[in-house]
Amino acid sequence: MDYSPPPLFKQGASARVRVVFFAVLAIFLLVVDSRLKSLTLVRQILGSVLYPVQMVAVMPRDTVKRASDYFVSVTTLEKENTQLKHQQTQNADTLQQTGHLMAENTHLRKLLDARERLQVKSVMAEIIYDARDPASRKVIIDRGIKHGLTLSQPVIDDKGVVGQVTRVFPLTAEVTLLTDKNQAIPVQILRNGLRSVAYGRGQSSYLDMRLTTNADIQNGDQLVTSGIDGIYPPGLAVAKVVQVENKANTTFESILCVPTAGIDRNKQLLVLLVSADNLSRPDTEDVRAKKEKINRKVTRDAAAPTSDTKPVDQPMKDLPVKDGAVKETPAKDATGKDAPPKDAEAKDAPATAKEPKT
């Protein structure tokens, strides 16, 4: 008795063949994208196409949030309004002091004939949702290439550095936070100017920094951007040192820092439109080896050779005269050349017979 499914359900290839085909296709696309970087345009097109779907997906969440905010009690709103007014008064005082300090700093810079710092352009962005990978520390913002965003631009909030733009699409962009395990930022200790690099720890909300055991660092030191990378403007608040651990089996201190910015708390961010196109790329190993070889050759050729030997072909008139000796000067012939000595003429002359005496 035949128990096979009717012909209606036997259309197309089997499920096993389709699984193998799509698995091979996915691996091929991963290899092509990682090696040739040829799917960037396709990814941007897909991001633009999926943007309305993303907006529709987050619409229920926004609707529920608006409804909950609408039914907030009047007492809570009045309390929040009072706190905001008090905070506004404090911010006004701080703003006035900052304006006075900036004016004084500008005046001192002019007196020292120093170059004034240029203002960096920025654009306001809002976080749409977190990245799909739970192991990474990334967020998606609602600004992209259309708004002037490019790769490696710093992202800050009202307290300090939040992260860096690592992927851009026409209407959205991906921001990698400072606490991501693959993120690093050059920092400088505000108290003594010591420079180092801070690294993310992944799922942890802290940053790591390594310094030698004799480095001058203490708990509570403020870390700011050093600006030596050409991407982060100098002076932006990054983190605060909370723990300095010195191990006996190593020459480095393990330093634990907490970010100053609200990495997981803020929804509105500020993207600094810093251009990284004019940064010079580091030389490759071959170029560095050629430069070192040329420098060694130039240094070797520039060194003057030293010799203690005296010249052999010294003219007669330059030789020292001994005591009691008469200095002889070679005679000149009619052509102006040195005449042969008398002894040589006597040897070369033919022997003549002596006349007999009478």
DSSP string, 206-225: -EEEEEETT----TT-EEEE
Q: Is 189 exposed, middle or buried (0-12, 13-18, 19+ CB in 10 A)?
A: buried
- Residue type for 146, please? K
**Average pLDDT value over all residues in the chain:** 76
> What pLDDT, on a 0 to 100 scale, did the predictor assign at position 189?
92
Number of C-beta neighbours around residue 184 at 10 A: 16
What φ, ψ does residue 99 adopt, rounded to 5°?
-65, -40
Locus of tokens 């990682």:
34
CA dihedral 216, 218, 222, 226 (to 10 degrees): 20
Kindly write down the DSSP assignment for every residue of 125-193, as one continuous string: EEEEEE-S-TTS-EEEES--GGGT--TT-EEE-SSSEEEEEEEE-SS-EEEEETTSTT-EEEEEETTT-
Element (H, E) at 54: helix 40-70
Tell me the torsion sign for CA atoms 56, 58, 64, 68: negative
What φ, ψ does residue 324 adopt, rounded to 5°?
85, -5
**CA–CA separation, 210 and 194 (whole Å):** 12
Question: DSSP character for 339?
Answer: P
Tell me the torsion sign for CA atoms 70, 75, 80, 84: positive
Residue by residue, pLDDT tens for the chain (358 residues) are: 555 656 555 566 777 888 999 999 999 888 888 877 777 888 888 889 989 998 998 898 888 888 877 777 777 888 888 898 888 888 887 777 787 788 777 766 766 654 445 467 888 888 998 877 777 889 999 999 999 999 989 998 888 899 999 999 999 999 999 999 889 999 999 888 899 999 998 878 889 998 887 888 889 999 999 888 888 888 888 999 998 887 666 778 888 999 998 888 878 888 888 876 655 555 556 776 777 778 777 667 765 455 454 444 444 444 444 444 444 445 445 444 455 554 444 444 444 444 444 3
What pLDDT digit, counting tens, does each position of 329-340 carry?
454 454 444 555
Helix then strand then coil, % of the chain, to nearest 5: 35, 20, 45
What pLDDT digit, counting tens, does each position of 236-281 carry?
889 999 988 876 667 788 889 999 988 888 788 888 888 766 555 5
> What pLDDT, on a 0 to 100 scale, did the predictor assign at position 347?
43
> What pLDDT, on a 0 to 100 scale, did the predictor assign at position 150?
92
CA angle (174, 189, 231) in 5-degree steps: 35
**List of long-range contacts for 53-56, beta carbons under 8 Å, 24+ apart:** 54/128, 54/129, 54/172
**CA–CA separation, 146 and 173 (whole Å):** 10
Tell me the torsion sign for CA atoms 147, 150, 153, 155: positive
